[in-house]
Amino acid sequence: MTNPQPPSSHQLAADVAAAEDSAIAAVARAGSAAELDRIQSEVIGKRSALARLNTALGALDPEGRRSAGASINAARSRVGGQIEQRRSMLAVTERRARIEAERLDLTETIALASTTGGGVPLPGGPVTRGRLNLVTQTRDELEDTFVALGFAVAEGPEAETDWYNFEALNMPPAHPARGMWDTLYLKLGKPETVLLRTHTSPVQVRLMERQKPPIYAVMPGRCYRRDTPDARHLPVFHQIEGLVVDRDITFADLAGTIEAFTTSFFGPGIHSRLRPSYFPFTEPSGEFEVTCPICAGVGCRTCSGSGWIELGGCGMVDPNVFAAVGIDPDVHSGFAFGFGIDRLAQVRAGLSDMRTLLDNDIRFITQF
């Protein structure tokens, strides 16, 4: 028996190229990571065509051996690269397939729950979109109304110092007018120096400190008082403050602004009136009232028999307030007002009791 002829370097190079091509084609056909593992051992493992070609190197001369060995190694490393590339592609595809298989279509459950009729009821009822509370809707609308009249919107903190809530508003310590607001004090610093603001008027002071006239701004926000809840009062409620400071501002501007606001917010049908009142930070001061929508002015429990509901206070900014913030009252004048947002919402929706706003009763909430 004669030994087979050893391959020439030329033949070996052709065999390496053919083994590489068939290895790369096999790798490209792998449909899963497990299949790829198997193909890997077939194409670059110990029994692979490329490994077998290594054994033929011994028959070549040293130069041919070196060059053929290098080309087998290069082919092996190219096939290895293709394997890694294929492995990452398969990992992405397999992950996608797994996510798709595990996906829970909750919308489908909801749709079925609301439409099965006689079928087996599925857990959970139809989910409808929530909506903003009537007070929030009213606040947004008030902001829009005043912005349309040329006002800017500003805000201030709910925890306030005695200075902003009282002193700068012309109420020094022990001033009897402080009793107009049942105040909740916080245990911070010296006793009775930090409080939950009783009205939005302190924001006026902060704004005038920050901004020089002309000022045309409204300041909505939450207020706190030790008030017992009843048909027209809540211990936590909302006000919108208004402030105008410019040259030659008169009471007629205040009355005109309130008239423009009332018409725009309530429509032309509602009656309103301004009557004299007292606030330490405005002089002269007034109270703004509208006809009680529950009894149409006849008198009922909601309006305590008066036929009118008070919506807020107003007046010309007191010169002492201007002095506290460094505005010259000989050059500038201004007016301010503060309306109850919950009260406005109550009147416009014709609610006999303000506490309904806190009920969280879906039948009530969905009406607005």
Interface with ligand FA5 (CB under 6 A) = 199, 201, 225, 227, 233-234, 237, 239, 241, 279, 282, 285, 310-315, 336-340, 342-343
Which is nearer to ligand FA5, 246 or 310 (by Cβ)? Answer: 310
Which is nearer to ligand FA5, 42 or 209 (by Cβ)? Answer: 209
Which is nearer to ligand FA5, 7 or 286 (by Cβ)? Answer: 286
Shortest spacing between CB 102 and ligand FA5, in angstroms: 52
Q: C-alpha angle with apex 28: 27 to 32, nearest 5 degrees?
A: 75
Instruction: Output the residue with the shortest Cβ distance to ligand FA5.
Output: 340
Which is nearer to ligand FA5, 264 or 285 (by Cβ)? Answer: 285
> What are the residues facing 215 on neighbouring strands?
245
Which is nearer to ligand FA5, 50 or 337 (by Cβ)? Answer: 337
User: Would you tell me how many other CB atoms lie within 10 Å of the CB of residue 14?
Assistant: 12
> What are the residues facing 312 on neighbouring strands?
288, 339
Q: Which residues contact 23 (CB under 8 A, 6 or more apart)?
A: 43, 44, 48, 49, 50, 75, 79, 82
Give the number of residues written for the chain: 368
Shortest spacing between CB 309 and ligand FA5, in angstroms: 8
- How is 216-274 classified by DSSP, letter by letter? EEEEEEEEE--PPPBTTB-SEEEEEEEEEEETT--HHHHHHHHHHHHHHHH-TT--EEE
Shortest spacing between CB 126 and ligand FA5, in angstroms: 35
> What are the residues facing 159 on neighbouring strands?
196
Q: Which residues contact 15 (CB under 8 A, 6 or more apart)?
A: 7, 49, 53
> Which among 60, 80, 70 has a CA at the least distance from the CA of 10?
60
SS (H, E, C) 9-21: HHHHHHHHHHHHH
20, 75, 261, 306, 356 from 296: Cα distances, Å: 96, 96, 21, 11, 20
Distance in angstroms (rounded) separating the CA atoms of residues 235 and 237? 6
Which is nearer to ligand FA5, 86 or 199 (by Cβ)? Answer: 199
Shortest spacing between CB 97 and ligand FA5, in angstroms: 59
Which is nearer to ligand FA5, 15 or 237 (by Cβ)? Answer: 237
Orientation of helix 251-266 relative to helix 134-148, angle to 10°: 130
Which DSSP state fits 45? Answer: S
Which is nearer to ligand FA5, 206 or 343 (by Cβ)? Answer: 343
Shortest spacing between CB 164 and ligand FA5, in angstroms: 12
Shortest spacing between CB 320 and ligand FA5, in angstroms: 14
Shortest spacing between CB 212 and ligand FA5, in angstroms: 20
Which is nearer to ligand FA5, 7 or 313 (by Cβ)? Answer: 313
Shortest spacing between CB 204 and ligand FA5, in angstroms: 7
Shortest spacing between CB 357 and ligand FA5, in angstroms: 10
